[in-house]
Amino acid sequence: MASRKQKLTKEEELLLQDFSRNVSTKSSALFYGNSLIVSAIPLWLFWRIHQMDPYQSGILFAIMTAISTYLVSYAYRNVKFVLKHKVAVKREEAVTREVMKKVADDKKMSKKEKDERILWKKNEVADYEATTFSIFYNNALYLVLIILASFYVLRSLNPNVNYVLSVASASGLLALFSTSTK
Amino acid sequence: MATSTKMLALAILAVLPVLMKASTCIGPQVTSNVYTTSEASMSISTVFVVEVAVKCNNGEKDLLLFADVNGHMVPATQSGTGKFQVSWSDEHKKLPAGTYGVRFFDEEGYNAVRKEKRSGTDGSAVTPIFTVNVKHSGTWTGPYVQTEFVATCVALLVWYMAYRSKSFLMS
């Protein structure tokens, strides 16, 4: 039996993209870049405030920053996925109005084409807003967790132990909370 | 024999005061340098250090000075020719902000103060050879609110705003 390859329509592609947790290369680069910056913030905190020597603790810093970068970008992806659909619903009316205003005078465009364009624009807006909001929310939560862990919960511990446990717990909890669907 | 011995003892007694005459500074010109603890967060007590350079008009160099520090007489350490240093410390609350007058005495004055104190008075009637006023502006005990507390509050506020926006989007 010969296999038939069916070309996906634009609508089907968008739907697949919508329900997939995968992100585009651009979004992935954005997530990893941001998570690296955020994961590097505790380095300055522990170097200047907790007086850890950056040369002596260099390997520890590198390992924990890498782990934290991965977990924070994982949290970004999860929160973005959950938010995207909600944002799409909230912005649907405004996006439809805007697109229809642009294409109203175009008589050559069929209704199907107009609907596809609306869907594409809605997806683009929802994707962008969900990405930026996910980064903002997760960064705020990560910093709160780091400050609470390093200055209050673990303050009496040795700085090296304090660093490992605060970064691990902050990024771990962030990843855990991001798996919530609410 | 006994008479000559008595005469010798009397002669020695007469000369002794001259030989053992205490050095007195007349018309002292004093320059002082004062240090007091300014931060209480890194220290457990307040320390006062008074350094004085004394130049006497009568050219006296072999001075022996004593300082009246909060009612206690302490010897001043000589740190160089004509330079003396006195230091004392106590708990922060026992040395509050204010001006402390440190009276300096020579040997004679010191003995006079001791005599006064033995007779029940505080020795304030004895005139010092000079007085150094130490101005202590108090110690800083740290900020009223810890900086990490402020950072925590700001971080929590930002997160709360983000959480409210997220809840609105998820509704």
Query: Closest by alpha carbon to A15, among A113, A88, A132, A123?
Result: A123
Cross-chain CB nearest to B152 (options A86, A90, A147): A147
Distance, CA of B45 to CA of A39 (rounded, Å):
41
For chain A, the residue count is: 182
Cα–Cα distance for residue pair A180/A174, rounded to 1 Å: 11
| pLDDT tens readout for residues B44-97 | 889 999 999 998 888 877 788 899 988 888 899 988 888 999 999 888 888 889
8 Å CB contact of B162 and A140: yes
Q: Which two tokens stand for residue A158?
A: 């040795």
What average pLDDT does the segment A87-96 reach?
87
**Contact flag B162-A182 (C-beta cutoff 8 Å):** no
Radius of gyration of chain A (CA): 22
Query: pLDDT-derived band of residue A70, with 50, 70 and 90 as boundaries?
Result: very high
Q: Which of B152, B159, B170 sits opposite A140 (nearest CB)?
A: B159
- Full strand arrangement of the beta sheet holding B77-80: B29-36, B46-55, B83-90, B77-80
* Residues on chain B bordering chain A, Cβ-to-Cβ distance under 8 angstroms: 148, 151-152, 155-156, 158-159, 161-163, 165-166, 169-170
Shortest CA gap A161–chain B (Å)? 19
Instruction: Please list every residue in chain B whose beta carbon sits closer than 8 Å to the beta carbon of residue A149.
Output: none
CA dihedral A160, A166, A169, A170 (to 10 degrees): -140
Residue A116 has pLDDT above 70, yes or no: yes
Between vectors from CA B133 to CA B128 and to CA B136, what angle results, nearest 5°?
145
Check pLDDT > 60 for residue A51: yes
Show the tokens assigned to B21: 């005459």
Rounded to two decimals, the ipTM of the complex is: 0.81
Q: What share of chain A is helix, strand, coil (3-state, %, to 5)?
A: 80, 0, 20
Cβ neighbours of B156 in A, within 8 Å: 144
The widest CA-to-CA distance across chain B, in whole angstroms, is: 123
Which site among A44, A132, A141 would you substitute to test the B interface, given the most B Cβ atoms closer than 10 Å to its Cβ? Answer: A141
The alpha carbon of residue B164 is apart from the nearest alpha carbon of chain A, in Å, by: 10
| Cβ-based interface (< 8 Å): residues of A facing B | 82-83, 86-87, 90, 133, 136-137, 140-141, 143-144, 147-148, 151-152, 182
What value does the mean pLDDT take over residues B24-38?
88
Highest mean pLDDT, choosing among A36-40, A83-87, A91-95, B125-129: A36-40
- Give the Cβ contact number of residue A153 at 10 Å: 14
Q: What tens digit of pLDDT does each residue of A117-147 get?
A: 888 888 889 999 999 999 999 999 999 999 9
Close Cβ partners of A75 (under 8 Å, ≥ 6 residues apart): A134, A138, A171, A174, A175, A177, A178
Residue B1 has pLDDT above 80, yes or no: no
